[in-house]
């Protein structure tokens, strides 16, 4: 039955990268609740269900590859963030993680605000009925047209990213006869990722205005002089997939330092601080993310403590989780096409998608998990690499995974935690048709973003 069982042994430890888990999980059929959407379970049939629906039926109805998004999980996470931060703070969902009209409606209904960073995202937000005053516009190079559309719509804030942009937004707001609320994005010299952060004086990156060399203070001075801008506060975003709040502590300390400087120089206490997003989720069982209430408590304490120490009244806090809300709520369902064993190395399992629906592995060396979901298996674990169907050897979905050795074409595999930065970063490489996003809730499945068709591609190709 099995082509060749590859129980974890010393020869496999050689192939696994250092620091990686060294062996297969105790039970290949088990689903770690930490990395799967909340309603995902393995049913008595052996197949996995989401929202009560069998993945085999979902594959039949919607095809593969496809993203299945657990709507009740999404809504619960929105509520958890909103409740954790309470009425003293604002939660902005970062739309770039994944945005569609259905998502905007859910956010609206659950009381969240929304970050957008392009005219496309702004249109989606407005078209789905998000009130403009609950939208923030981001970006390091917003076009004049994007700024104009945002000001005209009446967005709640524009996060200013450069001196040129201060002038541009001020000019457009004046021309449109309005006063635009703004924040200034500053770089605080903290680079945070996962469990480590680096605090430096300077930061070498394209976003924001640096605190260290006085650019941020100069930006504040300019904005305060402009009648068509109302300065709400200071914005900082320090990284992504962060598990530890110590990077935020340094960021808050430095931002509050600027608030104090602004008070001393201009006699103004700015009413808001935004600490950005970047909070981590579990992609594998090794990851152990904090709950929203723990994060809210930590960030609240940090900001309150820093402001007290600086003799400032505590500003209104906002945060911008993207991944932490949508990431865990979806999985990608693939069908296995080929299984190729490389003797002494690993087994390559090719699925019907790849880097066109999940670029994160190729782009960031991101780690994912994967499970056989159309049935259970008692076969031995085999060290596998799940790859896509694109013309690129870097087209890897899951770099190192243990899958049952009896895996065969036609089996369904699911990769959990693909709600964020997968569909939103999907491409048409090799003229792939971007997969649909199907929302599942209480036994019902509904397409919220349909699968692309060859006609969609043909329409853009005007000969
Ligand atoms: C990307 C981004 C976010 C969201 O990041 P996540 O890692 O998805 O939480 C929030 N704020 C800003 C300014 C961003 O650029």
Report whether residue 388 contacts ligand 1, using a CB cutoff of 6 Å: no
Report whether residue 280 contacts ligand 1, using a CB cutoff of 6 Å: no
Q: Please compute the mean of the pLDDT values over residues 220-239 and round it to a whole number.
A: 97
What pLDDT does 14 receive? 43
Determine the distance separating the centroid of ligand 1 and the alpha carbon of 92, expressed in angstroms.
10
Residues of the chain with CATH 3.20.20.10: 138-321
Q: Is 278 annotated as a binding residue?
A: yes
Determine the distance separating the centroid of ligand 1 and the alpha carbon of 98, expressed in angstroms.
11
Determine the distance separating the centroid of ligand 1 and the alpha carbon of 138, expressed in angstroms.
10
Determine the distance separating the centroid of ligand 1 and the alpha carbon of 52, expressed in angstroms.
32
Distant-in-sequence, close-in-space partners of 183: CB < 8 Å, separation ≥ 6: 136, 157, 158, 159, 160, 231, 232, 233, 234, 235, 272, 274
Alpha-carbon span 358 to 356, nearest angstrom: 6
What pLDDT does 199 receive? 83
Say how many C-beta atoms besides its own lie within 10 A of residue 45's C-beta: 12
Adjacent-strand bridge partners of 335: 412
CA 11 to chain centre: 36
Report whether residue 235 contacts ligand 1, using a CB cutoff of 6 Å: no
5 pLDDT tier (thresholds 50, 70, 90): very low
CATH code given to domain 138-321: 3.20.20.10
Written as six digits, the tokens of 347 are: 């087994």
Counting atoms of ligand 1 from 1, which one is nearest the CA of 241?
A: 7
| pLDDT tens column, 183-211 | 999 999 998 887 788 888 788 889 999 99
Contact 409, 56 (CB under 8 A): no
| pLDDT tens column, 141-190 | 999 999 999 999 999 999 999 999 999 999 999 999 999 999 999 999 99
Determine the distance separating the centroid of ligand 1 and the alpha carbon of 210, expressed in angstroms.
18
Q: Please compute the mean of the pLDDT values over residues 106-128 and round it to a whole number.
A: 98
Is the pLDDT confidence value at 270 over 90? yes
Report whether residue 77 contacts ligand 1, using a CB cutoff of 6 Å: no
Residues of the chain with CATH 2.40.37.10: 41-70+328-450
What pLDDT does 22 receive? 60
What pLDDT does 20 receive? 54
Q: Which of 78, 117, 307, 391 is catalytic?
A: 391
Q: Are strands 135-137 and 157-160 parallel, antiparallel or unpaired?
A: parallel
Determine the distance separating the centroid of ligand 1 and the alpha carbon of 322, expressed in angstroms.
6
Counting atoms of ligand 1 from 1, which one is nearest the CA of 240?
A: 7
What pLDDT does 21 receive? 53
Counting atoms of ligand 1 from 1, which one is nearest the CA of 280?
A: 7
Determine the distance separating the centroid of ligand 1 and the alpha carbon of 321, expressed in angstroms.
6
Report whether residue 113 contacts ligand 1, using a CB cutoff of 6 Å: no
Q: Please compute the mean of the pLDDT values over residues 234-262 and round it to a whole number.
A: 95
Report whether residue 239 contacts ligand 1, using a CB cutoff of 6 Å: no
Q: Is 321 annotated as a binding residue?
A: yes
Closest CA to 75 of 255, 403, 328: 328
CATH code given to domain 41-70+328-450: 2.40.37.10
Is the pLDDT confidence value at 109 over 50? yes
Counting atoms of ligand 1 from 1, which one is nearest the CA of 239?
A: 7
On whether the pTM is more than 0.75, the answer is yes
Choice from 322, 327, 330, 360 to test ligand 1 binding pocket (greatest atom count within 8 A of CB): 322
Alpha-carbon span 438 to 71, nearest angstrom: 9
Contact 227, 177 (CB under 8 A): no
Q: Is 360 annotated as a binding residue?
A: yes
The rounded mean pLDDT for the chain is: 94
Integer CA distances (angstroms), 435 to 66, 181, 386, 448, 452, in order: 5, 38, 18, 11, 7
What pLDDT does 200 receive? 80
Report whether residue 95 contacts ligand 1, using a CB cutoff of 6 Å: no
| pLDDT tens column, 360-390 | 999 999 999 999 999 999 999 999 999 999 9
Is the pLDDT confidence value at 12 over 70? no
Report whether residue 322 contacts ligand 1, using a CB cutoff of 6 Å: yes
Counting atoms of ligand 1 from 1, which one is nearest the CA of 159?
A: 13
What pLDDT does 204 receive? 87
Integer CA distances (angstroms), 348 to 92, 383, 408, in order: 40, 9, 12
Q: What are phi and psi of 121, to 5 degrees?
A: -65, -40
Report whether residue 237 contacts ligand 1, using a CB cutoff of 6 Å: yes
Report whether residue 295 contacts ligand 1, using a CB cutoff of 6 Å: no
Alpha-carbon span 396 to 337, nearest angstrom: 15
Q: Please say if 78 is a catalytic residue.
A: no
**What are the strands, taking DSSP E only, across 119-189?**
135-137, 157-160, 180-187
| pLDDT tens column, 24-33 | 888 999 999 9
Q: Is 392 annotated as a binding residue?
A: yes
Q: Is 459 annotated as a binding residue?
A: no
Q: Is 283 annotated as a binding residue?
A: no
């Amino acid at each position: 039955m099995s082509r060749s069982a590859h129980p974890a042994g010393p020869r496999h430890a050689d192939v696994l990268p250092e620091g990686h888990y060294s062996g297969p999980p105790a039970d290949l059929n088990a689903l770690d609740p930490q990395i799967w959407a909340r309603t995902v379970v393995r049913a008595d049939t052996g197949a996995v269900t989401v929202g009560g629906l069998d993945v085999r039926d979902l594959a039949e109805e919607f095809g593969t590859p496809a993203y299945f998004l657990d709507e009740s999980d999404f809504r619960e996470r929105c509520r958890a963030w909103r409740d954790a931060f309470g009425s003293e703070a604002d939660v902005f969902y970062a739309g770039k993680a994944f945005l569609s009209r259905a998502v905007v409606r859910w956010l609206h209904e659950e009381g969240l605000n929304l970050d957008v960073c392009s005219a496309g995202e702004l249109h989606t937000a407005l078209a789905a009925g998000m009130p403009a005053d609950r939208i923030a516009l981001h970006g390091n190079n917003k076009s004049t047209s994007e700024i104009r559309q945002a000001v005209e719509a009446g967005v709640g804030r524009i996060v200013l990213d450069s001196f040129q942009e201060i002038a541009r937004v001020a000019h457009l707001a004046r021309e449109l006869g309005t006063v635009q609320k703004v924040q200034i994005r500053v770089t605080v010299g903290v680079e945070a990722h996962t469990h480590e952060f680096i605090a430096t004086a300077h930061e070498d990156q394209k976003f924001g205005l640096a605190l260290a060399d006085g650019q941020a203070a100069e930006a504040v001075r300019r904005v305060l002089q402009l009648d068509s801008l109302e300065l709400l506060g200071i914005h900082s975003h320090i990284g992504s997939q962060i598990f530890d709040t110590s990077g935020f502590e340094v960021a808050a300390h430095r931002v509050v330092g600027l608030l104090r400087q602004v008070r001393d120089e201009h006699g103004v206490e700015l009413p808001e601080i935004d600490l950005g997003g970047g909070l981590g989720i579990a992609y594998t069982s090794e990851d152990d993310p904090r709950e929203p209430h723990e994060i809210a408590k930590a960030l609240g304490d940090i900001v309150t403590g820093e402001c007290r120490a600086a003799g400032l009244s505590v500003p209104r806090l906002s945060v911008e989780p993207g991944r932490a809300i949508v990431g865990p709520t979806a999985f990608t369902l693939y069908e296995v096409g080929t299984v190729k064993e490389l003797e002494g190395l690993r087994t390559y399992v090719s699925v019907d998608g790849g880097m066109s629906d999940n670029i994160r592995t190729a782009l960031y060396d991101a780690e994912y998990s994967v499970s056989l979901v159309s049935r259970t298996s008692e076969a031995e674990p085999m060290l596998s690499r799940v790859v896509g169907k694109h013309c690129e050897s870097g087209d890897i979905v899951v770099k190192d995974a243990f899958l049952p050795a009896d895996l065969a074409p036609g089996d369904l595999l699911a990769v959990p935690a693909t709600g964020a930065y997968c569909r939103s970063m999907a491409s048409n490489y090799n003229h792939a048709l971007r997969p649909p996003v199907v929302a599942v809730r209480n036994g019902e499945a509904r397409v919220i973003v349909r699968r692309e068709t060859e006609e969609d591609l043909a329409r853009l190709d005007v000969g």
